Structure 1
Amino acid sequence: MRVLKTLLATAALATGLGTAAMAEDKTKVGFVYVGSIGDGGWTYEHNKSRLAVEEHFGDKVETTYVENVPEGPDAERVMTQMALSGHDLIFTTSFGYMDPTIAVAAKFPDVKFEHATGYKQADNVSVYSARFYEGRAVQGHIAGKMTKSNIIGYIASFPIPEVIRGINSAYIHAKKVNPDVQFKIIWAYTWFDPAKEADAAKALIEQGADVILQHTDSTAPQAAAKEAGNVITFGQASDMSDYAPFPRVSSIIDNWAPYYIARTQAVMDGTWESVSTWDGISTGMVEIGEITDAVPADVKAEAIALRDSLSDGSYHAFTGPLNKQDGSTWLADGETADDGTLAGMGFYVEGIEGEIPSN
């Protein structure tokens, strides 16, 4: 019944009738998704957390969502319709929604907005993200240990700091355990396009990659690796456990539920305020999925130890000595990167080949 109510509310929203479908005494929470709730990755996990909000609050909330919303003008239209439909809180869950979120929020100062992975705030706009790069460190360690060809492929989405951080973190930790490792990067220019992602994976495999990392949202790279037969992969944003124990040997899981519940509660309590949240393994916003037995026991133990050191703060994923790609010094021995540099990262570390696209 709850799923039916949500779908009906979503349909009503799309036709401008959302307000009539919702009880006036409920806190109304909307979600704008860049992909499909069935993508098996990024949007799937956001939607799982939306359902967790419903389960936690029961009849005190009404949630709606609109999926497959392109980043750009259409996102502004969807957000505007949500605001007009009486929503109290709106989560906009993709980097490219940043400017539309700010624009719509300015027109609806009484509505609270939460934007994922961005950096622009307003009195009624918070930002939140996860330290995905911590999970990339663990993946890089496993990848560096398990590659036989010493070629690791990386399917990147867009050249934004979040993705560049992930590439750098994975490379640093692969290189630490395997000095001969080489990264080959393909920029797909999409968050979710199974055909493009599959093509990218196949191209990397043809170039000799026997490990594929991805910062895109579908399971298509997993399927391509399974077909190849001797390539390992890692789940992105979600466990992607349908492909475990091989080729998917572990994963980064985004757990947004505690944050969504807390922010919804703050709206209910009248304590909501604009904040910037950037959490990682320590809070459980980033989880490391099961490391399967396809990973040798000693490598698995090392990866778990790395995860735990990132969690308790005894180790930072970006710890010097580290140089930038051009050979200039970035971090001295023992020095760690500050959040400001990481948040705006626009460079590769030394050893990564190729250039970061300009757009």
Structure 2
Amino acid sequence: MYKNLAAIAMAASCFAFPTHAQKNEPLKVGFVYVAPLTDAGWVRQHEEARLAVQAALGERVKTTFVENVAEGPDAERVIRDLAQTGHKLIFAPSFGYMEPTLKVAKDFPAVRFESVTGYKTAPNVAAANARYYEGRYLSGIAAARMSKTGVAGYVAGFPIPEVLQGINAFTLGMRSVNPQAQVKVVWLNAWFDPGKERDAAMALMDQGADVLAFHTASTAVMTAAQERGKLAIAYHSDMRKVAPDAQVLAVTHQWGEHYTQRTRAVLDGSWKPGKVWGGVKEGMIRVGWFGSKVPKAVQEEVLARQKDIAAGTLKPFTGPIVDNQGKAVLAKGQAMTDAQILDMKFLVSGAQGKVPQ
């Protein structure tokens, strides 16, 4: 189970590394990106974090990145190449990078690896993720307030727990405002495929969805909504540049502080493997960047609920929760444990679709 940022030391093993030895040379830090670097999206947020590391630590570090690296053999090749070329800290922010990272780490015990969205650790591999679902719940509230049809569309990448958490939290957020709201789900089995993302968005709008959400890496869903005069929830980063009229709000991921903290730990010799799972409270997830069509009252409502999540008084996965097959999942008043959330394999009532096997 992931711990919050303050508990890294408690979650870590006793395996420790010496202080970065070459005092006169910068620490080489590598970043591997699963999609092309664009102006907005998943990769953009990690690039912003890289730039934050460089700005904070200056000449003490030298950061580099490799973009558009497919999960699987390509990822192993690139991660191994970074380790072989003197990078002593490597960030691998994609779920499918987890196993390749672990494999390379065995061959380079003096290199530290950060598996971002992975969950397995090793003596020189740490894991980190964010509670994206907290932002999804908040965006669902806004979507329900803005929707005229009560029907939203959701373009989803792969059916892993992280994505299911987001779909379910979004649906529960909508239903906290409109108990009859429906969310239609389309699975792509891809993280970055702008053509397929656009086609899915168009199909969902043809089926009556007037607000779209997505868990993919490009801006294609946003531009489709802009083109059709519909609304959409930006994901990963602010996307008003490409969808100035369509954007309701943005659910953003803020990695800069965490990446800087982990890099500084390598420099001072305090780095330890462990697990981090931070959300709104820790500043890793934020909603805002409201579009011009969103009334002030809706903005204030969403931001108030964001404060409630930060304070721990609002937990998105609180019962009663029923799945979309009618099976009771959680009793009234109960809150899901982190272990249950991390192992999520179902869609809640109101989410139309099936979980691919």
Question: Within 1, Cα distance between the matches of 2:207 and 2:352?
Answer: 14
What TM-score, normalized to structure 2?
0.91
In structure 1, the partner of 2:65 is: 65
Question: Within 1, Cα distance between the matches of 2:94 and 2:290?
Answer: 28
Question: Within 2, Cα distance between the matches of 1:129 and 1:50?
Answer: 16
In structure 2, the partner of 1:141 is: 141
Question: Within 1, Cα distance between the matches of 2:266 and 2:48?
Answer: 20
Alpha-carbon contact 2:330-2:336 (below 8 Å) kept = yes
Question: Within 2, Cα distance between the matches of 1:310 and 1:244?
Answer: 28
In structure 2, the partner of 1:306 is: 305
In structure 2, the partner of 1:250 is: 249
Residue deviations 1:251-286, cap 9 Å, x none? 011110000100000001111001100001111111
Cα deviation for residue 245 of structure 1 reads 4.6
Question: Within 2, Cα distance between the matches of 1:147 and 1:284?
Answer: 28
2:200 corresponds to 1:200: yes
Q: Return 243-252 or 283-292, whichever deviates more.
A: 243-252
Q: Return 326-335 or 46-55, whichever deviates more.
A: 326-335
Cα deviation for residue 354 of structure 1 reads 2.2
1:69-148 to 2 correspondences below 5 Å: 69-148=69-148
2:56 corresponds to 1:56: yes
Cα deviation for residue 46 of structure 1 reads 0.2
The structure whose RCO (Cα within 8 Å, separation 6+) is larger is: 2
Alpha-carbon contact 2:186-2:353 (below 8 Å) kept = no
Residue deviations 1:323-349, cap 9 Å, x none? 233333222222111111111111112
In structure 2, the partner of 1:335 is: 334
Cα deviation for residue 350 of structure 1 reads 2.4
Matched residue type, 1:306: R
Residue deviations 1:218-276, cap 9 Å, x none? 111111111111x1111110111214652112101111000010000000111100110
In structure 2, the partner of 1:263 is: 262
Matched residue type, 2:203: A
> 1:281 is paired with a residue of what secondary structure?
coil
What TM-score, normalized to structure 1?
0.90
In structure 1, the partner of 2:293 is: 294
Alpha-carbon contact 2:142-2:248 (below 8 Å) kept = no
> 1:305 is paired with a residue of what secondary structure?
helix
In structure 2, the partner of 1:30 is: 30
Question: Within 2, Cα distance between the matches of 1:61 and 1:354?
Answer: 47
In structure 1, the partner of 2:226 is: 226
Percent identity for Structure 1 against Structure 2: 45
Gapped regions of structure 1 (runs ≥ 5): 1-21
> 1:282 is paired with a residue of what secondary structure?
coil
In structure 1, the partner of 2:9 is: none
Alpha-carbon contact 2:246-2:291 (below 8 Å) kept = no
2:278 corresponds to 1:279: yes
Q: How many residues align?
A: 336
Question: Within 2, Cα distance between the matches of 1:54 and 1:76?
Answer: 25
Question: Within 1, Cα distance between the matches of 2:333 and 2:292?
Answer: 33
In structure 2, the partner of 1:326 is: 325
Matched residue type, 1:285: M
Alpha-carbon contact 1:245-1:294 (below 8 Å) kept = no
Cα deviation for residue 300 of structure 1 reads 2.0
Residue deviations 1:284-315, cap 9 Å, x none? 11111222341123222221111110111111
Alpha-carbon contact 1:39-1:217 (below 8 Å) kept = no
> 1:278 is paired with a residue of what secondary structure?
strand
> 1:236 is paired with a residue of what secondary structure?
strand
> 1:291 is paired with a residue of what secondary structure?
coil
Question: Within 2, Cα distance between the matches of 1:202 and 1:244?
Answer: 15
In structure 2, the partner of 1:5 is: none
Alpha-carbon contact 1:198-1:220 (below 8 Å) kept = yes
In structure 2, the partner of 1:185 is: 185
> 1:242 is paired with a residue of what secondary structure?
coil
Question: Within 2, Cα distance between the matches of 1:115 and 1:267?
Answer: 15
In structure 2, the partner of 1:17 is: none
What root-mean-square deviation, in Å, do the aligned CA atoms of Structure 1 and Structure 2 show?
1.5
Q: Return 141-150 or 257-266, whichever deviates more.
A: 141-150
Alpha-carbon contact 1:155-1:188 (below 8 Å) kept = yes
